[in-house]
Chain A
Amino acid sequence: MQRRQWRELAWNSLKTFPIVCKLCTIHLIQLKGGIMMKIAVIAPGALPEEAKTAMKAEMLTYAEPGTTLEVFAVEEGKIAVAADLDLKAPSTVALARKIENHGFDAIILDGT
Chain B
Amino acid sequence: MAARSAVRIPVVGAASATYHLVYQLGGKYAVISVNEKINPTFLRAIKLADCENRLTSMRSLKRPFSVPMDRLPYTPGELEEEIADIAAKQVEEEGAQIIVVAFTLLNLFVKPGALQRLSSRLNVVFVDAQAIAFKTAEMLVRLKLSHSEREYPLL
Which residues on A are within 8 Å of B, measured CB to CB? Answer: 35, 37, 39, 42, 46, 48, 51, 54-55, 58-59, 62-64, 67, 78-86, 89, 92-93, 95-97, 99-100, 104-112
Contacts and interface: CB of A to CB of B under 8 A. Distances in A.
Nearest to A105: B141
A112 to B, nearest CB: 4
A4 B94 CA distance: 78
A107 B10 contact: yes
B142 interface: yes
Contacts of A63: 134, 138
B108 A55 contact: yes
A106 B141 contact: yes
Nearest to B136: A108
A65 to B, nearest CB: 11
Given A62-B135, A108-B134, A110-B104, A35 B13 contact: no
Contact of B9 (A54, A83, A84, A106): A106
Given A37-B141, A51-B69, A96 B6 contact: yes
B67 A80 contact: yes
Interface in B117-143: 129-131, 133-135, 137-138, 140-142
Contact of B137 (A55, A58, A78, A106): A106
Contact of B15 (A62, A105, A112): A112
Residue of A64, A104, A107 with most partner-chain B CB within 10 A: A107
- Which DSSP category, helix, strand, loop or mixed, fits chain B's interface? helix
A70 to B, nearest CB: 12
A81 B41 contact: yes
Interface of B: 1-3, 5-15, 18, 35, 38, 41-42, 44-45, 48, 66-69, 100, 102-105, 107-108, 129-131, 133-135, 137-138, 140-142
6 contacts: A39-B137, A83-B15, A83-B45, A84-B41, A86-B2, A107-B3
A99 B3 CA distance: 11
Given A105-B9, A107-B7, A112-B18, 15 more contacts: A51-B69, A51-B108, A55-B108, A55-B130, A58-B108, A80-B35, A86-B1, A93-B3, A96-B7, A100-B7, A104-B9, A107-B9, A107-B137, A108-B134, A112-B100
A109 B138 contact: no
A82 B13 contact: yes
